[in-house]
Amino acid sequence: MKIAVIGGGYVGLVSGACFAELGNDVTIIEIDPAKVLAINEQQPPIYEIGLEDLLKKHIGNRLCASITYDSVASADIIFICVGTPPNSDGSANLSYIESASAMIGAARRTVPTYCVVVVKSTVPPGTTAKIVCPGVLQSAHKTEGEIGFVMNPEFLREGRAIADFMHPDRIVIGSADDRAFNYVAEAYHKIDVPVIRTSLSAAEMIKYTSNAFLAMKISFSNEIGNICKQLHIDVYEVMRGVGLDHRIGTQFLNAGVGFGGSCFPKDVSSLISLAKAIGEDPLILHAVLKVNTQQPNRLLKLLRARIGNLNGKKIAVLGLAFKDNTEDIRDSKAIPVIQELLLNGASVSAYDPMAVEAMRKLFPTVTYCHSAGHALDGADACLVMTEWPEFGKINKEFERMKTRVIIEGRRILSCNGTEGICW
């Protein structure tokens, strides 16, 4: 099939590369010329395991990037993969969705053949039916039936996105008509997993609900961890026993400093905003964000209890990305921690395998190091913020510290003499 993907960001680029791997002809449409150039030169502008290999395999064959909407005219399916960043009130900003819809319609105005427009961006329920569908049809000067509409949410974890795309738990296709559903199902025909057909709005809600539930599991685990800390109980032992209950499951039960990234904080906030707009007060969702916001403060409180006043102290921060296997620092818990350290007069030496340059833009006065050992030299304390596997191998490097105070926000270290935020 001929596929056009609107948006060359994280979701669009990964999805486009994977659809090419499935045998489709894909054009990724991106407004940033630098990203287009990088993609066409087989250099991914983001880090994702296996992505560079897919670009090298398919660029110039089944995959390309463009700054124009020309490929939309001949596409069988057009995926909308643009951002929906939060507004100041937490609601989803749909301006990129509206713009993409108008541009798609304009590109299809003189095309008589049928196509399907698919929303893959995370959007509030009702967006596809009330914004995308009329936006495309009005711009295209067409009526319902000439263009199909589908909501097909993505469930991609950063650092593991290609594996998640190729081996998902399920594929959700929200559609109001059989023809549109069949088009999109065909694009995934090589992936043998359950295909869930729903309404457009139910598919949109499935995405929000999935992310909110996973965020809730993390905040719940952190709250249990905070209780276990006071009772001198290892929360990881507790959650290992809890997670083996098949009704609960083992994933997203690792207690720590909280969740970050581009999805969970934004999507929970957007769901809260949506609930408020219809007169509901989502108490659990409020608690999910409250616990998540407070966790870094607990880490800093523990640090002060161990070394006293932070003024003039050198603190090593290991891990800047919000999770391992990515350079993404969006809503990283290292951000509020470093900000508080600097405000209290501490000097910060930091190391991350991939996220240094991104964090340098936020905190240029921090000393960024080329290794964990370099960051630990002469440090009064160390905070581990990201579960990078290489941190699990650190041992003798801690001997380079002035005082051996090591606090983990993510449980990854294997050496002795460490303490966790909630274990």
According to DSSP, residue 224 is labeled: H
* Residues 109-124, mean pLDDT to the nearest whole number: 98
Q: Output the CA torsion sign for 79, 88, 255, 361.
A: positive
State yes or no: pLDDT of 246 exceeds 90: yes
Whether the domain at 2-200 and the domain at 209-423 fall into the same CATH topology: yes
H, E, C per residue of 130-154: HHHHHHHHHHHCCCECCEEEEECCC
Mean of per-residue pLDDT scores for the chain: 97
Distance CA 296, CA 335 (A): 9
Q: What is the pLDDT of residues 164-219, one digit of tens each?
A: 999 999 999 999 899 999 999 999 999 999 999 999 999 999 999 999 999 999 99
Distance CA 7, CA 17 (A): 12
Distance CA 34, CA 23 (A): 26
Residue 367 φ/ψ, nearest 5 degrees: -85, 115
Distance CA 238, CA 245 (A): 12
User: In 50-208, at which residue ranges do the beta strands (DSSP E only) sit?
Assistant: 63-66, 77-80, 115-119, 147-151, 171-175, 195-198
Active site annotation includes 263:
yes
Q: What is the pLDDT of residues 255-272, one digit of tens each?
A: 999 999 999 999 999 999
Give the rounded distance of the alpha carbon of 403 from its chain centre. Answer: 36
* CATH classification code of 209-423: 3.40.50.720
168-194 b/e (C-beta count within 10 Å ≥ 16 → b): beebbbbbbeeebbebbbebbeeeeee
Among 81, 133, 228, 263, the one annotated catalytic: 263
Distance CA 233, CA 266 (A): 32
* CATH classification code of 2-200: 3.40.50.720
**For the chain, domain boundaries:** 2-200, 209-423
Distance CA 273, CA 203 (A): 18
